Amino acid sequence: MEFSKYDYTEEFLLKRIGEITSRQKMSNVRREALKKIFQSIDFTTLEAFDNAEKIDGFCEKAIAFSKTEPFLSLPSICIYSPFIRQAKAKLAGSGIHVATVACAFPSGQMPFDLKKKEVEYCVSEGADEVDMVISRGTFLAGRYDEVYNEIKSIRDICGKDVLLKVILETGELKTVENIRKASEIAILAGADFIKTSTGKVAVAATPLAAVIMIDTIKEYFEATGKKVGFKPAGGLSTVDDALAYFYLVKDILGDEWLNSRYLRFGTSRLAEKVRDEIVG
């Protein structure tokens, strides 16, 4: 795919982001937007000190939101793979899915045979969703076919029943051209979602990276009729952070993407803030 509608300089994109945000803020849909955002949060804990006791409490907290208000229902939690089976049991009957990270998260630095075994383990443990990282070193070396083949192989392991989100780590890709190319590769290899970041690097999600990814999703949809989801993650610390990405998706892709099937937010700290503003 080629850029066709826009002058894809960074300066132009930043100006366009500002125009979209201003236009959407004027639409006065903040409270309804926050409801949709909450219902699209992948409630996440990915810390080295996570343990069984913490995961139990985390699952209980995820369930508790909807007991306060029925519309405060989360689509999933995102945890490390050793806790998949435990979380599945704890969340049974809640409607909340279990997502996990894979492919040597967050670095992506592992022999590919071991990455495949890791994903096979995640699927066998019952993961509903897999968030895989791409090999950024391989991508930046220009070995695009290898990146494509890795994603395609993980797609095959996940099968049709496990949702695959592909993390680009846009802060390490840096340029407009790289983010665009990585988005195309991930989509063509079978990603259900493309995701900005692991949240483990200095530069995580940014509106600039987001608009490039969202435009790629739109052009792919226009060319094929197939929808791909978008997930910003990393650095989302305020309600306005989340709204900025919501507005970009709404303006560029439209209302059909404003649900957890095609939009997710990777965060834990935002859930309570969004809840408090909705019910406050």
Active site residue 156: no
Do residues 264 and 236 make contact, with C-beta atoms less than 8 angstroms apart? no
Residue 95 backbone class (left: φ over 0; alpha: ψ -120 to 50; beta: rest):
left
Do residues 134 and 186 make contact, with C-beta atoms less than 8 angstroms apart? yes
Helices 239-252 and 207-224: crossing angle in degrees, nearest 10, is 30
Residue of 131, 192, 241, 251 with catalytic role: 131
Residue of 165, 181, 195, 250 with catalytic role: 195
Active site residue 226: no
Residue of 231, 241, 251, 273 with catalytic role: 231
Active site residue 61: no
Do residues 205 and 233 make contact, with C-beta atoms less than 8 angstroms apart? yes
CA distance 136 to 144: 10
The full length of the chain comes to 280
Residue 249 backbone class (left: φ over 0; alpha: ψ -120 to 50; beta: rest):
alpha
Helices (H), the chain: 10-25, 30-38, 52-68, 84-90, 112-125, 136-140, 144-158, 170-173, 176-188, 207-224, 239-252, 269-279
Give, in order, the Cα–Cα distances in Å from 93 to each of 79, 88, 97, 253.
18, 9, 10, 32
Q: Phi and psi (nearest 5°) for 156? A: -65, -40
CA distance 232 to 190: 18
- H/E/C letters for each residue in 189-214? CCCCEEECCCCCCCCCCCHHHHHHHH
Residues that are catalytic: 131, 195, 231
